[in-house]
Structure formats: C-alpha cells, structure tokens
Amino acid sequence: IFFPSFVVYCALFLLETVTLYLYWYGWDVMQGGGKKGLHLFLGLLLNVFAFFIMIVPNSWATFQASPVVVAEGSALARAWAATWNPTWWPVNVHRLIANVVLGGFICGAYAGMRYLSANTHEERVHYDWMGYVGNFIGVFGMLPLPFAGYWLMREVYQYNQQMGITLMGGFLSWLFILQAFLIGVLFLGANYYFWLGITHRIEGSEVKYRRPIMAMLVILLLCLGVWMTPHSLVASLEEARKMGGTHHPLLGVFGVMSAKMTVVNIMILVTFMSFIIYWRAGKQVTATWAKVAQKVMGGVLGLAAIVVIVLGVWGYFVPAIVRINYFSVAQVLIVLFVLVTITPLTGLLMKSARTTTEMIWGRMPPRAGYALVLNAVMVILLMTLMGYARSSSRVHWHIYGVMRDSSQYAYSPALGYAAAFMSLNTFVFCLLVAFIFWVATMGDKAKAGEPGTKKKLPAGAYPAMAGGSPTLDDQKQQ
C-alpha cells in the first residue's frame, strides 16, 4: 500500500542532502550581496524537507495503530487513503512540537557542557547566552506540548476506546505516572534555570524575586505531587483491606484526569510566569498605558487560574463525556488565551522600557550547566518511554484489528524489562550526542580574539526576550 510513499521518502532524503551541502559549504560565499537571501531560502527548504521526512514515516506507524478501509483505486490513491488515517495529524503535530523541545534542550545541553569546561570569560559569556537560547526554545515548545498530547489521546479514544483504555487504564497506565514524574522534573529544571538567570545575571534581583520564586516552586511541587498520584495504589491484600479497596480514601481523588488536567495547566501558567518575570527583570516600564496593561495582565492571569481550578473541581460532579468534551477543552483554550494575550502585551511594554540593571552574561553557577544537561536527558527518556507506550498499545496486532501477530513473540515486554531498555536507549543516544559534540569541538575553527579586545555575542545578538541589551560601555559609545 505504501510503496509510493517509499519513493517520496527516498527522494526527500536526496533533496535534503543536496540542500544541506549547499547550505553548509555556501555559508561564507552567500553572506554578501543578494546571496544572503538565497542562503536563508536554503535554510527554509531544509526545514520543509525535514518536516516531510518526519510525517511520511509517521503515516506508516499511525496506520498500524489506526488503520482505515482502503478502497480500490490507483496505487497513489490507496497510499493516500492509508496515510490520511485518524491519528496521522495528531502524531505529526505532537512530534513536531516534541522535536522543537528536543532540539532546544539538546542545544542547551551542549552549551551547558561547553560552559562548564570554558577556560576564558569570553567563552563563558558565549555559552551562557547559548544556554539561554536553548532553554528558551525548549520551554517555548514545552508549553503547548501537553495540549498536543491531549489531542492525540482524544483521537485514540475516538478511534478505539479499548486502545485508549489499554494505554491509560490497563497495564500501560503506570507509564503515565512515570511520564508525569519526568515532565515534572523537566518543568522544574526549566524554571530553575530561569530563576538562576534572574538571580545571577541581573544584579539586585535575588532579594526582589525571592518570594515569588519560592511561591512558584511550592506550586510546582504541589502540582507535581497531584500529577504523580496514581488512581489505584499498588498495595498488599492487607493494605487494600484497611483502605477498603485499591483506591486511597483521601489521595484517590487526585488520581483521575480531572485533577491531572488541572495541575498540568497550572504548571504551564507558572512556567509562563517564570519566563515573563525573567523577561521583565531589570526593566522599568515607561509607557503611559503601562498601569492599565499590568492590571489587565494580572486580572487575566488570576481569573484564568481560578477558572481552571473551578472547572477541575466541577469535573468530579459531571459525566465523563462532559468533562472530556467541554471542561478539558475549555481549560486548554483558557491557558492558550493567557499565552497569546500576555506575551504581545509584555513585548509592547518592554519595547519602550528603560533598562535599570544591566544583564551580565557568564556569571551563572555550575549548577545551571547541570540543569541544562538534565533537561536534555529527561526529554530523551520521555521519548523512549512514550515510544514504548505507543508501540505496546497495539498489543498482539501488527496492524490493529486487521493483521494479528501470531508468533511466539506476540506480547508486550514487562514494564521493568522495558524500563531497562528505555534507560539503555537513552544512554546510547546520549553517547552519540556526546560524540557529535566532541567532533564539533574538533572542527571549531573560530579564531581567538586579540588580547585586550572585548568579544560580543554572535553577530551582535542580544536576546530581547531575555531582557538582554548592549553593554553599558557600548551604550556610552553610542
């Protein structure tokens, strides 16, 4: 059925390779004149080809999980009908966002390693800035990722309820407890890096933001505790008898999706506010409409948090279909509304804001580099974990409900056995990434600066989203 897509897949790899060669080896040649636009266009083509290289094999994997009836017709028509299955686009969107998160945190991990091994102040400045950019990209993708995952699971349940129950109510449900823990560590790591940036890059901010940071930390830990709470506890017969069943009389209420969807949205809001605080640190707004804007943003954020919590509690008293189709969707839309409202308003305020405290790069403590590496490892573990869940959801079917696996290996590995292989895969992948990092350092042909000269960030870049700006010396020269 998929033979035409195999041909397209091979052609995409050839196009990607040719474009990559032109992009890389034409880097210096295309920097001047009108050729720079061509170089940017080649970079755009690389991303377009990479996107299609990702979604073509996605169609093969999603057809195994959610096959459709393929009508008679030409080979191309049959391949297209099989490709356009119910879970194809949810998986495409989910993996696209996840790849942004992976790329950002891998970039941050590289910067963290180079920052820890830096020998000069100029290197620490450069890799501190690079670590910020990587963490920002990772967080930028991480905020909408739970929404994409929710959409994917919704489509799985709509296609086949038994598959959804196997994933989230059967033996695979414990994987989602592990997922909650890993994502929680990822949220804590990303926020911790933001907080370190506030307290170490911006002088005088440690005392000012100590209480808000502590409050956000407590909220994140409480939300993580709720998210990690299982619906049914692993208990002995005696313990189950004392509890009156496998559901804990008090903690059992936190094990259902109504509670988990609520705390996930709260964690997203807290992470977003960490970024906003970091963005505004060391700045004083000067716009005439600043007070009104700040009241509007505070009101939107507070009201959104209250409504999300109210809907979460209300979800306990309505049928599941109402909670899934209306309440959960409303929570997602409310959080997205906060993101798309506060971000541009803050951007407009910061455009005319006055810098009161200069941001100093290269002063982050070593634990910031370790946090960046930890984030990358957590993302890789998450990908191996959910890859096992997606594959095992088909149980004893090659193609779910169509082609049964009748071999002696038609079973899903036990969770402990699978976890060992997840760890092994993560370790091997990290070794490969470390090898690529090592090769990159061997090919580094950057010239060392002259003694006494001051290096700037690449191409004079100062990340406005971080509140970065030229140094005070540069401002005096201007």
Other CB atoms within 10 Å distance of the CB of residue 29: 11
DSSP 412: P
Say how far apart CA 133 and CA 193 lie, in whole Å. Answer: 12
Sign of CA dihedral 299, 302, 306, 307: positive
- Secondary structure (DSSP) of 333-359: HHHHHHHHHHHHHHHHHHHSPEESS-B
Q: Which residue has the higher pLDDT, 159 or 470?
A: 159
Say how far apart CA 421 and CA 289 lie, in whole Å. Answer: 56
Which residues face 403 on adjacent strands? 399
Q: Is residue 367 part of a domain?
A: yes
The C-alpha R_g of the chain, in whole angstroms, comes to: 25
Whether residues 45 and 127 fall in one domain: no
Q: Is residue 415 part of a domain?
A: yes
Say how far apart CA 48 and CA 169 lie, in whole Å. Answer: 38
Read off the pLDDT band of 152 (50, 70, 90).
very high
Q: Quick check: 63 and 79 in contact, CB under 8 A?
A: no
| Beta strands, E only, 97-235 | none
**Least confident span in 86-90, 369-373, 430-434, 441-445:** 441-445
Structure tokens at 414: 């036990």
Range 387-408 average pLDDT: 91
Q: Is residue 459 part of a domain?
A: no
What was the pLDDT predicted at 476? 39
3-state secondary structure of 400: coil
Whether residues 372 and 416 fall in one domain: yes
What was the pLDDT predicted at 257? 87
214 contact partners, CB below 8 Å, separation of at least 6: none
Q: Quick check: 462 and 469 in contact, CB under 8 A?
A: yes
Say how far apart CA 435 and CA 326 lie, in whole Å. Answer: 48
pLDDT digits (tens, 9 = 90+) for 29-75: 888 777 888 999 999 999 999 999 999 999 999 999 999 988 778 89
Q: Is residue 336 part of a domain?
A: no
Q: Is residue 94 part of a domain?
A: yes
Whether residues 100 and 29 fall in one domain: no
Whether residues 77 and 110 fall in one domain: no
Q: Is the pLDDT of residue 21 over 60?
A: yes
What was the pLDDT predicted at 452? 45
Say how far apart CA 26 and CA 40 lie, in whole Å. Answer: 11
pLDDT digits (tens, 9 = 90+) for 261-283: 999 999 999 999 999 999 888 88
Structure tokens at 39: 């170089």
Phi, psi of 354 (to 5 degrees): -100, 135
What is the rounded average pLDDT for all residues in the chain? Answer: 88
Burial string for 209-248 (b: 16+ CB within 10 Å, else e) reads beeebeebbebbeebbebbbbbbebeeeeeeeeebeeebb
Whether residues 76 and 135 fall in one domain: no
Whether residues 205 and 164 fall in one domain: yes
Read off the pLDDT band of 464 (50, 70, 90).
very low
Whether residues 133 and 44 fall in one domain: no
Q: Final residue of a domain: which of 85, 119, 140?
A: 85
Say how far apart CA 470 and CA 456 lie, in whole Å. Answer: 9
Q: Final residue of a domain: which of 54, 85, 116?
A: 85
Entry pTM: 0.87
Whether residues 109 and 194 fall in one domain: yes
**Least confident span in 84-93, 263-272, 391-400:** 391-400
Q: Is residue 18 part of a domain?
A: yes
Structure tokens at 111: 């910067």
Sign of CA dihedral 478, 136, 46, 145: negative
pLDDT digits (tens, 9 = 90+) for 438-463: 887 776 654 444 444 444 544 444 44
Phi, psi of 260 (to 5 degrees): -70, -40
Range 114-127 average pLDDT: 92
What was the pLDDT predicted at 443? 64
Whether residues 218 and 98 fall in one domain: yes
Taking 3-state DSSP, the helix, strand and coil percentages for the chain, each rounded to the nearest 5, stand at: 75, 0, 25
Read off the pLDDT band of 241 (50, 70, 90).
confident
Whether residues 49 and 161 fall in one domain: no
Q: Is residue 413 part of a domain?
A: yes
* Count of structural domains, the chain: 2
Other CB atoms within 10 Å distance of the CB of residue 69: 7
Structure tokens at 450: 């002259």
Looking at the chain, the whole-number percentage of residues with pLDDT higher than 90 is 63
DSSP 72: S
Domain with 199, as residue range(s), is: 89-224+358-442
Q: Is the pLDDT of residue 384 over 70?
A: yes
Whether residues 104 and 190 fall in one domain: yes
DSSP 326: I
Q: Is residue 274 part of a domain?
A: no
Read off the pLDDT band of 215 (50, 70, 90).
very high
Read off the pLDDT band of 211 (50, 70, 90).
very high
Say how far apart CA 254 and CA 236 lie, in whole Å. Answer: 21
Structure tokens at 152: 């994917």
Range 76-83 average pLDDT: 92
Whether residues 58 and 124 fall in one domain: no
